[in-house]
Amino acid sequence: MTTEPDSSADAAEPRGAATATVPPEDPPPAGGPAVVSADKPRVGTADLIFKNLTRTAGLGLLALIAVIAVFLVLRATHALNANTGNFLTTEEWFPNATPPKFGVAATLYGTVVSAAVAMIIAVPVAVGIALFITVYAPRQLSSVLGYIVDLLAAVPSVVYGLWGLIVLAPHMKGIQLWLNDYFGWIPIFDAESVGRSLFVASVVLAIMILPIVAALSREVFLQVPIAHREAALALGATRWEMIRVAVLPYGKPGVISASMLGLGRAMGETIAVALVLPASFNISAHLLSPAGNTIAANVANGWGEANDIGRGALIASGLVLFIVTMIVNIIARAIVARRREFSGSAA
C-alpha cells in the first residue's frame, strides 16, 4: 500500500513564495573597502570631473548671455530716456542732436529684409550643392568641392564687402534694370533708379552665408545611414526619390540648424553691408532703390562720431538685434525639436 505525500504544508504557502531563507550579508569589516551595489554603478573621478566641467561650461554660457543682456540694457537706458521720438517706430536717426531723436524702425527693417532675401537666395543653392557633393559627385570630385566650400566659409567678410562694392555692385545694375522692366508690376521690383540697394546687399550676404550652410548641410547628409539609401534604391526608387524619402527627411533638422546659423551671420554682418549700402534711414518696399541700412552697419558707421547719447542709442539698437536673434534661435530650436524623430536620436 502506497501513501501519498502530504501536501498540506505546500498548500499553506502562497504559490511562488520562496521557501529558502537567504542569510543576511555580513557587514564589511572595519577599515575595509565598501561594498558597491550592483544596481548603482560606481562613478569614477574622471567622470565626475568631466561632468562638473561640462556643467560649469553650460552655466557659464547662460551667465555670459545674461551679462551681455544686462550690459546692453544698462548702457542703453540713459539714451532711451533722453530720446524725444519713439524708439521702435521712428525712422529718423539723430542721436547726436539737441534734443536727440532716433528710432530703430528703418535699420531693423533693413536688417530683416536683407537677411530674409539672402536666405531665400542662399539656402536652396546651398542644399543643392550639399546634395551634389554627397550623392551625385564622384569621390575625388566631392573631396575637392568639399575643400573649396570649407575654404569659402573661412573667407573674411571684408573681402566679400570689397568684392561686392568694386565688382558686384556695378555689374548688378543690368540685372536690376531687367527686374524693373519685366517685373516692375511687383512693388518690390519697382524703382525710379537702381544702384547700391538692399537687393545688392542681400546678394552679397547670400554669397557669404552660402558656404556655411552648404558645409554644414553636407556633413548632415553624410550622416544618413547607408542602409536607408540602399533600401530605397532596392525598392526601385530613383536617385531623386531616394533623396526625397531617405536623405532629406533625415537631414532636415540639420539643414534647419545650418540655415539658422547662416541667418544669424546675415543679420549680424557689419563690414560687408556697410561697404555696399549707403547710409540712409527710410523704410521703402522697393528693394532696387539705392537706399537702406542695417543695425550692424549703422553701429559700425556711427560709433566713431557718436557722443554719449549716440553711443547709448547704438547700444540700444544692438539690444534690439540681440533680442531678434534670440527669438529666431528659439523658433529654430522649436522646429528642430518637433522633427526630432528624423534626426536618428529618437530610435
**What confidence category does residue 39 fall into, taking pLDDT thresholds of 50, 70 and 90?**
low
Give SS3 for 19.
coil
DSSP string, 84-103: -S-TTT---EETTSSS-EE-
Cell numbers 544596481 correspond to: 39
Which amino acid, one-letter code, is at 222? L
Q: Distance between CA atoms of 139 and 12, rounded to whole angstroms?
A: 76
- Identify the residue whose cell numbers are 542644399: 127
Q: What are the DSSP calls for 270-311, one per residue?
A: -HHHHHHS-------S-TTSS----HHHHHHHHSTT--HHHH
User: Torsion angle of alpha carbons 281, 286, 291, 297, nearest 10°?
Assistant: 70
- Residue 220: name the closest of 58, 345, 347, 54 by CA: 345
**Sequence-ordered alpha helix ranges (H) in the chain:** 8-12, 45-82, 105-131, 139-153, 157-163, 169-183, 198-222, 226-234, 239-242, 248-268, 271-276, 295-302, 308-338
Q: What pLDDT is stored for residue 16 in this prediction?
A: 43
In whole angstroms, what is the distance from residue 162 CA to residue 219 CA? 30
Q: What is the mean pLDDT of residues 72-87?
A: 89
What is the C-alpha separation between 133 and 257, in angstroms, rounded? 19
* Tens digit of each residue's pLDDT (9 = 90 or more) over 142-189: 889 989 998 888 888 889 889 988 988 888 888 888 888 888 888 888
288, 281, 324: which is closest to 302 by C-alpha? 281
CA separation for the pair 270, 152 (Å, rounded): 18
Which pLDDT score, from 0 to 100, does residue 207 have? 92
pTM reported for the whole predicted model? 0.79
Report the chain's mean pLDDT, rounded to a whole number. Answer: 83
Reply yes or no on whether the pLDDT at 86 is more than 50.
Answer: yes
Sign of CA dihedral 275, 280, 286, 288: negative
- The predicted pLDDT at position 204 comes to 92
Cα–Cα distance between 243 and 16 in angstroms, integer?
56
Express each pLDDT in 195-218 by its tens digit: 888 899 999 999 999 999 999 999
Residue 254 to residues 134, 208, 250, 299: CA-CA distances in angstroms?
A: 15, 19, 8, 32
> Max alpha carbon distance in the chain (Å)?
124
> What mean pLDDT do residues 287-295 have?
86
Query: What is the C-alpha separation between 149 and 155, in angstroms, rounded?
Result: 10
pLDDT band at residue 25 under the 50/70/90 scheme? low
Residue among 306, 309, 311, 127 at smallest CA distance from 209 = 127
The residue among 82, 101, 81 whose CA lies nearest residue 92 is 101
Is the pLDDT at 2 greater than 50? The verdict is no
* Better pLDDT: 334 or 15: 334
User: Phi and psi of 105, rounded to 5°?
Assistant: -65, -50
Domains along the chain with CATH numbers: 65-341 (1.10.3720.10)
Backbone angles phi, psi at 102, to 5 degrees: -155, 160
- Look up residue 147 and give its three cell numbers: 575643400
pLDDT digits (tens, 9 = 90+) for 221-256: 998 888 888 888 888 888 899 999 989 888 888 898
Angle between helices 198-222 and 105-131 (to 10 degrees): 40
Residue in the structure block whose three cell numbers are 499553506 = 12
